[in-house]
Structure 1
Amino acid sequence: MLLHKITLQDFGAYQGEQQLDLRTQPGRPIVLIGGLNGCGKTTLLDAIQLVLYGPKAECSGRGTRGYNDYLEQCINRKADRSSGAAITLEFTISVEAEERHYKVVRNWYFTGSKTLKEFLTVKVDGQFSRTVTESWPDHVETILPIDVASLFFFDGERVEQLADPERAAKVIESAVQSLMGVGTVERLRNDLKALQNRQQLSGQQQEFLDKIHSLQQELAQASQVVSDSAQKLAGFTSQLDVCKKDLRTAEQDFARAGGNAFEQRKELEAERARIDELAKATDKALVAVAEGPLPLLLLQKQLAGVKEQARLEREADDASRVVGALEERDEWLIQQLTESLPAAARTALKKKLTDDRRKRAAAADLDQALGLPHDALMQLSALDQALVSDSARACDLLQEAADIAERLESADQQLGAVPEEQLIKDLMVQRKAAMDKVAVAQAQVQRGEALLAEATSREARLAAELKRAQRGRTEVEWQSEVLKRVDKYSDKARRTLEKFGAELLTRHIKSVEVAVLQSFNKLMRKQGLIRDIRIDTDKFTLQLTDSEGEPVDPGRLSAGERQLLAVSLLWGLAKSAGNRLPSIIDTPLGRLDSRHRQHLVDRYFPQAGRQVLLLSTDEEIDENLLGRLKPYIAHTYTLVHDDKTFTTTVEPGYWWTAGAAHVA
């Protein structure tokens, strides 16, 4: 894990946006950040832990405060509370030899209802990841477990406490378990045990087999019910056949005795009455037709003579009307002829017109013996049409009357064939009894069919369930063998892991012992003070031995020596874990004399890891020590505090470097 950049927005004493580039270079692993006491060095360390771990972060300024109270306290006093504060940390990690870039943003602010809201956003390789964001508390534990963070993010003034055997034991155990894989082995053993516990299915298997036995019994009973139901249905069907045969015999006897006609008597009487009404209506219609001009059909020859006379009288009347008008017309026409027309032509025309008048005058002299009116011909034509219509209507009514008479005769014959009730009463009783027996037998058959269908359905359902269960029994038996093998090999694997874990622990402990002792000897001014360092594999306690082989109580060491021992412990653990995590050291040289400070500067800081962030005062890393560290420094910053506004800004450079910020 390598830190790239941290951005603070109105966090603590840091007003506005303050950024620090934390990237290092090969051979230059150190980022030196200077600041006087109270300028915000520890706040910077807290910010890194807070952005990563949120409520779980062990921040120095939190104390016993609740998380929301602590977040509220961390908003810069000059900042707008509705905008709040934010921390952004960018870093890279290596996942399966591939570098992944993370950008974690944690911000919080007050809403209009004065409620504190906190948001976390995580981008991976520049893309927002909802999955990583939502599971960040668990995801960050895979990157840098919080139990291990104290090994790499620590306060130099408090690191001396790690020289205490109990505190050192907790740190050693945490490092060995988390960083060196020993805890993973133990978790594997526990997971295998949990797997074995989950695989205890013998009770379920027995329950499953009992269920199969119960299904077999239920299926046998269901099959017997099906057989019984089928037999009952066969008996009901046979009884129904007998009853139907008796009913057919009774119906035949009843029909031969005229029973059908007797049952239909009321319908026959009603039909006879309806036909009689039709006959009466037809007779009435015929009378109505006869009351009209229809009888004149008997005088068709006379009507034809009258019609001819009406025509002649009408023509004579028309001619008498025209003769006088024609004479005046002809006179006027002759007068209109010019002298140019030949005399013969005029004479011929006069003769033609005179002959025409004589012919018309002869027609007008016809004897009008009947004295018929002028429109008599039209009336006689209308009478002809009426006679044709009434004649057709009379023919239809006569045909209808004949059909009704036949139907009436047939109805009378049917009614005449109906027997008396006394003659057929016994047959009716017999037929009714036979019909009742058939109805009872049919109801029994229907009930029998329903019972058989229900029994058959239950039998099929139980058979299918048993078939599935029997397939499952094979699977259960196979699974039982598998579980036995799982249990057997899980025990074997757990024993192997137990041995492997013990060997791995012993190996890592020896590695840590060597690394811590080497680190301590590099840092100590007094060579030979501690000849050997041992770590108990059960309690993880430190055991120091002097040059004469006698045990050394850490409490007898000076404050500076205890601090160097604690630093050596952290350095040794980091080296044993591969130095893959950054180290952030706040107040790195407190309580140390000048020789020990030089040893830390020369021998520890440049080799503590690929990335080392030093948060120092001007008295810890002074101008002399700065010169010794300079070849290994990638970046320098100074935290400049304004005592009037109580705010801190980040300026490039360090005391005694070109371009460094002026510090009052």
Structure 2
Amino acid sequence: MIFDEIVLHNFGLYQGTQRVELTPPGSNKPIVLIGGLNGGGKTTFLDALQLVLFGPHAKCSNRGSLAYPEYLSRCIHRRPGNTEAGIEIAFRHTVEGTEERYHLRRYWKTNGNGCKERFEVFKNGHAEPTLADNWATQVEEFFPANIAHLFLFDGEQVEAYASQTDSSALIGAAIQNLLGLDMVDQLDKDLLVYERRKRSEDKDAPRDAEITSAQDAVLDLRRRVDALKQERASLQTHRMDKQRKALRKAEERYRKIGGALYDQKDAIENKWSGSVQHLKDGEATLRDFAGGAAPLLLVRVLLESAELRDQHEEECRRARELAGALKDRDKAALKHLRGRKAQKEVVDALKTFLDADRAEREALGKKDTVLDLTPEVRSDLHTLLRGDTDQLAAESGKLLSDQNRRRTSEEHSRVEYESIPSSDTVEHIAKERDELRSEIAELEAMHAAMGQDIERQQRELERRETALARLLEADAKDRGRRDDRSRILHHSGKVRKTLEAFRHAVIARHVRRIEQLVLDSYRQLLRKGGLVTRLSIDPEDYALTLYGRDDEPLSAERLSAGERQLLAIALLWGLAKASGRPLPTAIDTPLGRLDSIHRMHLVERYLPFASHQILLLSTDEEIAGDYHERLRPWVGHTYQLTYDDKTGATHIAPGYLPSKEAA
């Protein structure tokens, strides 16, 4: 069997119509990896698989004791105007070498008369109304509802199967359904009822009153138990649910008026005080910075002007120093040219140029000196303009930026502190909330006490029924065994003994194979290879016993939480193998509370091989980092469940959750 596609329409958290392709792209990529945060719709997705396949017989996570129409009504997406929801699934199933294609459509709608469901089955593209009417029987042929928990399960809840009681119940139920022993048990019960009826048909007079009294007592106890169950259900539905709803409203009002801020009042006040002090410290730092060379940043233009003025005065000084030397040099040069009998025009032109040059320099040298900087001052000015002011500017910018952040933080803290409601505002709602919590606790205690009373009454009923059966049996013996009724009872008892012998023989024959499959699965998952050397299953009560290296019994309670969870998974895996049915496997929160080594074993040794098609519903803390990389070669499709808090809806998108290291 292979799931090809599932369609969710306004189901639970899933708004609108959303399609998810599930067909593995190849036999080497059997995994469909679906990531989502807690509360994002993973369990709802698993419930959708159960609901679309099994309808009223589905064991959904949040149904409890709700009637099927009421449960369907609560599954409709909570959005104004939504009155209809539905689930579709397309899958393939091969029978005797022939592949059949099925498409299931399960839709329901609420109206003034309640909730009505419409269920359709299409086989190989054609509608099959008869198949839809008898689907509860048809689905048992390729995916029995009684063993669905072996293939569709929540990884966080399977650890309970490792306990002595729950493992026995799981193994017993699995063996009963895998071997078809539920039919044998039902036949045994039917024969027992038939015997009781036959024995009560013709009571002798001396026993009539005793039998009638015993029957009346049994009937009275049954009525009492039924009345208690109805009263307990009424307490749950009318009082506890009402008070819980009122508590949710009170908590919502408390949240809206700022109750959460009020609960953190001291922390918020300390945060504000710290922000104020931090702001003051920043102001002190700025004042200290302003007491240094920082004010020079305001007169940088004047400093640059002073540098230019100093450069001009330096040129004037050099002009004064050169004036006398140039005059002597010019005379010598002209005299030299005349001695060499140079042309008069050249000598006159040179004389004119030299006279003009000297005149210009003499004029420059006569200008006033204002600054008259020393070389040391000139060097300091140059250093200040070429480096110190830039550094001061950068440091001042950083200090001012830091102060702005401190001011912003102080403003945010102050606004948060001013948003805290007064004690008068929240006190009455907090009191109402606490009173509702106390009332709910009392109702829950009452509900539990009623449950214990029901169990006591049921035990008494079973005791009286047993006594009545013995009384009827004695009455039947007294009447003699020679009539037809006696022979019927005699042969019925023999048949029941035969059925019991057959039952024990079948269990003893198959339980050894199941032991080996579970042991092989557990050893494959464990990181301590020699922790468990063998295991046994008692054919009578299905008790599971582990044996350690010394061949002594190893209690499941001595295992770590991770080892118990792996034992539970090995139980499911081994029983699934024993079923011999090639069914898809869907696992919600597969890694649970396992440590890193057990997680890696589960990723490498179980998840890729759990089935020919595996749907993994994981949080971002599980299949992530190295675990994701190890699993990636086996993954055919990836999806992520994105929950929008504003709309209260989840949308399914291709691709896995953003990369995150595994915890």
Report the TM-score, using the length of structure 2 for normalisation: 0.52
Answer yes or no: is 1:136 the counterpart of 2:138. no
**In structure 2, distance between residues paired with 1:129 and 1:21:** 24
Alignment partner, residue 94 of structure 1: 94
Task: Report if the CA contact (8 A) 1:623-1:655 is conserved.
Answer: no
Q: Once the 2 structures are TM-superposed, how far is the Cα of residue 185 of structure 1 from its aligned partner?
A: 6.3
For residues 579 and 600 of structure 1, do their structure 2 counterparts lie closer, same or farther at Cα, with a shift above 3 Å needed? farther
Alignment partner, residue 52 of structure 1: 53
**In structure 1, distance between residues paired with 2:493 and 2:195:** 9
User: Which amino acid letter does the alignment assign opposite residue 109 of structure 2?
Assistant: Y
Task: Report if the CA contact (8 A) 1:22-1:31 is conserved.
Answer: yes
For residues 493 and 117 of structure 1, do their structure 2 counterparts lie closer, same or farther at Cα, with a shift above 3 Å needed? closer
Alignment partner, residue 627 of structure 1: 629
For residues 165 and 37 of structure 1, do their structure 2 counterparts lie closer, same or farther at Cα, with a shift above 3 Å needed? same
**In structure 1, distance between residues paired with 2:64 and 2:183:** 32
Alignment partner, residue 68 of structure 2: 67
The CA deviation string for residues 426-473 of structure 1, in whole angstroms up to 9 with x for no partner, is: xxxxxxxxxxxxxxxxxxxxxxxxxxxxxxxxxxxxxxxxxxxxxxxx
Alignment partner, residue 206 of structure 2: none
Q: How does 1:491-506 map to 2 (within 5 A)?
A: 501-506=503-508
Q: How does 1:176-187 map to 2 (within 5 A)?
A: 176-183=175-182
Q: Once the 2 structures are TM-superposed, how far is the Cα of residue 187 of structure 1 from its aligned partner?
A: 6.7
Task: Report if the CA contact (8 A) 1:35-1:639 is conserved.
Answer: yes
5+ residue gaps, structure 1, are: 199-486
For residues 61 and 581 of structure 1, do their structure 2 counterparts lie closer, same or farther at Cα, with a shift above 3 Å needed? same
Task: Report if the CA contact (8 A) 2:585-2:614 is conserved.
Answer: yes
**In structure 2, distance between residues paired with 1:58 and 1:106:** 16
Alignment partner, residue 515 of structure 1: 517
Task: Report if the CA contact (8 A) 1:579-1:608 is conserved.
Answer: no
**In structure 2, distance between residues paired with 1:496 and 1:506:** 15
Q: How does 1:14-25 map to 2 (within 5 A)?
A: 14-24=14-24, 25=26
Q: Once the 2 structures are TM-superposed, how far is the Cα of residue 29 of structure 1 from its aligned partner?
A: 1.7
Answer yes or no: is 1:646 the counterpart of 2:645. no
Q: Once the 2 structures are TM-superposed, how far is the Cα of residue 101 of structure 1 from its aligned partner?
A: 1.8
Answer yes or no: is 1:76 the counterpart of 2:70. no
> What is the SS of the residue equivalent to 2:608?
helix
Alignment partner, residue 459 of structure 1: none
User: Which amino acid letter does the alignment assign opposite residue 107 of structure 2?
Assistant: N
Q: How does 1:156-555 map to 2 (within 5 A)?
A: 156-183=155-182, 501-555=503-557
Equivalent of 2:606 in 604, 608, 620: 604
For residues 565 and 6 of structure 1, do their structure 2 counterparts lie closer, same or farther at Cα, with a shift above 3 Å needed? same
Q: Once the 2 structures are TM-superposed, how far is the Cα of residue 638 of structure 1 from its aligned partner?
A: 0.8
**In structure 2, distance between residues paired with 1:116 and 1:196:** 42
User: Which amino acid letter does the alignment assign opposite residue 62 of structure 1?
Assistant: R
The CA deviation string for residues 588-625 of structure 1, in whole angstroms up to 9 with x for no partner, is: 00100010000001000111111111100111000211
Task: Report if the CA contact (8 A) 1:4-1:23 is conserved.
Answer: yes
Task: Report if the CA contact (8 A) 2:69-2:114 is conserved.
Answer: no
The CA deviation string for residues 242-301 of structure 1, in whole angstroms up to 9 with x for no partner, is: xxxxxxxxxxxxxxxxxxxxxxxxxxxxxxxxxxxxxxxxxxxxxxxxxxxxxxxxxxxx
Answer yes or no: is 1:4 the counterpart of 2:24. no
Alignment partner, residue 146 of structure 1: 145
The CA deviation string for residues 554-587 of structure 1, in whole angstroms up to 9 with x for no partner, is: 1222211110110010011111222522111100
For residues 642 and 601 of structure 1, do their structure 2 counterparts lie closer, same or farther at Cα, with a shift above 3 Å needed? same
Task: Report if the CA contact (8 A) 1:81-1:110 is conserved.
Answer: no
Q: Once the 2 structures are TM-superposed, how far is the Cα of residue 495 of structure 1 from its aligned partner?
A: 8.5
**In structure 2, distance between residues paired with 1:143 and 1:196:** 35
**In structure 2, distance between residues paired with 1:490 and 1:108:** 47
**In structure 1, distance between residues paired with 2:497 and 2:143:** 29
**In structure 1, distance between residues paired with 2:492 and 2:70:** 49
**In structure 2, distance between residues paired with 1:73 and 1:528:** 49
Answer yes or no: is 1:588 the counterpart of 2:570. no
**In structure 1, distance between residues paired with 2:68 and 2:520:** 41
Q: Once the 2 structures are TM-superposed, how far is the Cα of residue 191 of structure 1 from its aligned partner?
A: 9.4
User: Which amino acid letter does the alignment assign opposite residue 150 of structure 1?
Assistant: H
Q: Once the 2 structures are TM-superposed, how far is the Cα of residue 44 of structure 1 from its aligned partner?
A: 0.2
Task: Report if the CA contact (8 A) 2:69-2:115 is conserved.
Answer: yes
Alignment partner, residue 33 of structure 1: 34
Aligned residue-pair number: 375
Alignment partner, residue 108 of structure 1: 108
For residues 72 and 196 of structure 1, do their structure 2 counterparts lie closer, same or farther at Cα, with a shift above 3 Å needed? closer
> What is the SS of the residue equivalent to 2:40?
coil
Percent identity between matched residues is 46
The CA deviation string for residues 303-362 of structure 1, in whole angstroms up to 9 with x for no partner, is: xxxxxxxxxxxxxxxxxxxxxxxxxxxxxxxxxxxxxxxxxxxxxxxxxxxxxxxxxxxx
Deviates more, 1:91-100 or 1:102-111: 91-100
**In structure 1, distance between residues paired with 2:581 and 2:120:** 28
User: Which amino acid letter does the alignment assign opposite residue 40 of structure 2?
Assistant: C
5+ residue gaps, structure 2, are: 198-488
Q: Once the 2 structures are TM-superposed, how far is the Cα of residue 538 of structure 1 from its aligned partner?
A: 1.1
**In structure 2, distance between residues paired with 1:98 and 1:174:** 31
User: Which amino acid letter does the alignment assign opposite residue 51 of structure 1?
Assistant: V
**In structure 2, distance between residues paired with 1:582 and 1:50:** 16
Q: Once the 2 structures are TM-superposed, how far is the Cα of residue 16 of structure 1 from its aligned partner?
A: 0.9
For residues 107 and 509 of structure 1, do their structure 2 counterparts lie closer, same or farther at Cα, with a shift above 3 Å needed? same
> What is the SS of the residue equivalent to 2:512?
helix
Task: Report if the CA contact (8 A) 2:36-2:657 is conserved.
Answer: no
Alignment partner, residue 615 of structure 2: 613
Q: Once the 2 structures are TM-superposed, how far is the Cα of residue 491 of structure 1 from its aligned partner?
A: 11
> What is the SS of the residue equivalent to 1:639?
strand
Task: Report if the CA contact (8 A) 1:42-1:586 is conserved.
Answer: yes
> What is the SS of the residue equivalent to 2:50?
helix
